[in-house]
Amino acid sequence: MTVDLLLGLQWGDEGKGKIVDVLTSKYDIIARFQGGPNAGHTLEFDGIKHVLRTIPSGIFHKNAINIIGNGVVMDPVVFQSEIQGLEKFSINIKDKLLISRKAHLILPTHRLLDAASEAAKGKAKIGSTLKGIGPTYMDKTGRNGLRVGDIELSDFREKYRALADKHIEMIDFYKVDIQYDLAELETEFFAAIEELKQLTFIDSEDYLNQALKDGKSILAEGAQGSLLDIDFGTYPFVTSSTTTAAGACTGLGIAPNKVKEVFGIFKAYTTRVGSGPFPTELNDEIGTRMAKLGNEFGSVTGRARRCGWLDLVALKYAVQINGVTELYMMKGDVLSGFENLKVCTAYNYKGEKIDHLPFNIEEENVIPIYEELKGWNADLTGMQSYEQFPEELKAYISFIEKEVGVPIKIVSVGPDRKQTITIQ
């Protein structure tokens, strides 16, 4: 068997959680391959909203095994609260969730370091979620980090103390006023570690490759979006991990030739949380209307998302670097009622028309070039098939497919898993 990938193609918040939930019944294993509790995957069914941060979105399906891969960074305290939030659903976590021993741990001092670093930047802040993600990945690449497998070793507390003390020295270096009670944070951390020990740790690369040999189907679930990738995103306003298709291989231990389909998710418009360039951003009543209709607030941070027209230059770029084979368009219903819709098809970059993402897409360098399409007034939320779509929406879909060169196979017309239209 092979592995299929599910990726966000914008700046995150595309709706990956819902689509994973819809697709899960087709797969034996759902594996998360990067990111940490800075990502919030929102699922909604039967009128109830659920937000997952670290646990894969297949946890609500009784037959799926869920794996947290080696590319993920875990905060035991956040993870414990996530598990507690699932208890009311009578989900047997111990049987359904497996954790890679090679996944790195977020320490309390990682979060403090994150806060100190961001505070020290002043106006140059990059918009960190302050969850300790960046400092944890820094320790990973610096070969200083602690991993889930270290919990099983007798000298875990000694290793923890050495790393935490190093962090405190670094926090003092920033010379910013960060208030914290380390003893209280550590008590909470080690209590969560004891809870974590009750779950099953695995050598996930061996487990997954054996599963492939046994004919199991696997869906690799990404977090954030391709434009936040550490290498290919709008650096330095990016996350600290590989959010593109390559991250599934390094974050799970699967070979590139095992990957079959790459499902790319995007919104019918564009959003971004926090700082960073955003060529099609709308700082007007249209952008405000999009945010209100789309309920554009971060599921983890609660921060308002910036909104703008669909950027096909950026979307084509994301499709290219990921090798996307199918597109899934989310929040098509949000655009209902707009008389006209604009789509960015090129940039005016320093006086030259280009159709690719340049090295620097800061506002003063890039002016979006738009094509205008007719909008639609129909309420999409109750529609059951593509045939019911208004002609203007069909034209919008066709325009995107032609520009990007990849078919749109799913259109979401509401937050519930039932509000998902498959295009044959």
**Secondary element (H or E) of residue 273:** none
Is 289 labeled as ligand-binding? no
Query: Is 167 labeled as catalytic in the residue annotation?
Result: no
Q: Is 243 annotated as a binding residue?
A: no
270 marked as binding residue = no
For residue 304, say whether it is annotated as part of any ligand binding site. yes
β-pair type (259-267, 218-221): unpaired
Q: Among 220, 227, 112, which residue's Cα sits nearest to residue 173?
A: 112
187 among annotated binding-site residues: no
Active site residue 13: yes
Asked if residue 197 belongs to a known ligand binding site, the reply is: no
CA angle 40, 43, 44 (to 5 degrees): 140
Selected catalytic residue, list 50, 61, 96, 140: 140
Q: 33 and 219 in contact (C-beta within 8 Å)?
A: no
- The single residue of 21, 41, 50, 114 carrying the catalytic annotation is 41
143 is in an annotated binding site: yes
- In the residue annotation, 41 being an active-site residue is answered as yes
Which tokens hold the place of 357?
Answer: 């993402």
Is residue 85 annotated as involved in ligand binding? no
The reply to whether 13 sits in an annotated binding site is: yes
Phi, psi values for residue 260, rounded to 5°: -110, -80
123 annotated as a binding-site residue: no
- Nearest 5°: phi and psi at 16? -65, -35
The reply, when asked if residue 224 is annotated as ligand binding, is yes
**Strand, coil or helix: 395:** helix
- Give the CA-trace dihedral at 296, 300, 301, 302, to 10 degrees: 40
**Residues with Cβ < 8 Å from 321, sequence gap 6 or more?**
226, 229, 232, 244, 245
39 is annotated as contributing to ligand binding: yes
Residue 16 assigned as binding residue: yes
Q: How far apart are CA 381 and CA 365, in angstroms?
A: 39
Distance CA 302, CA 121 (A): 22
332 is in an annotated binding site: yes
92 among the known binding-site residues?
no
| Beta-sheet strands, E only, within 96-246 | 97-100, 104-105, 200-202, 218-221
Is residue 413 marked as binding? yes
Q: Given 4, 13, 139, 229, which residue is catalytic?
A: 13
Residue in 161, 120, 163 with CA at minimum distance from that of residue 139: 163
Q: Which of 285, 263, 281 is nearest to 271 (CA)?
A: 281
Residues designated catalytic:
13, 41, 140
Which residue positions form the known binding site? Answer: 12-18, 38-42, 129, 143, 224, 239, 299-305, 331-333, 412-414
Which residue positions form the known binding site for IMP? Answer: 13-16, 38-41, 129, 143, 224, 239, 303
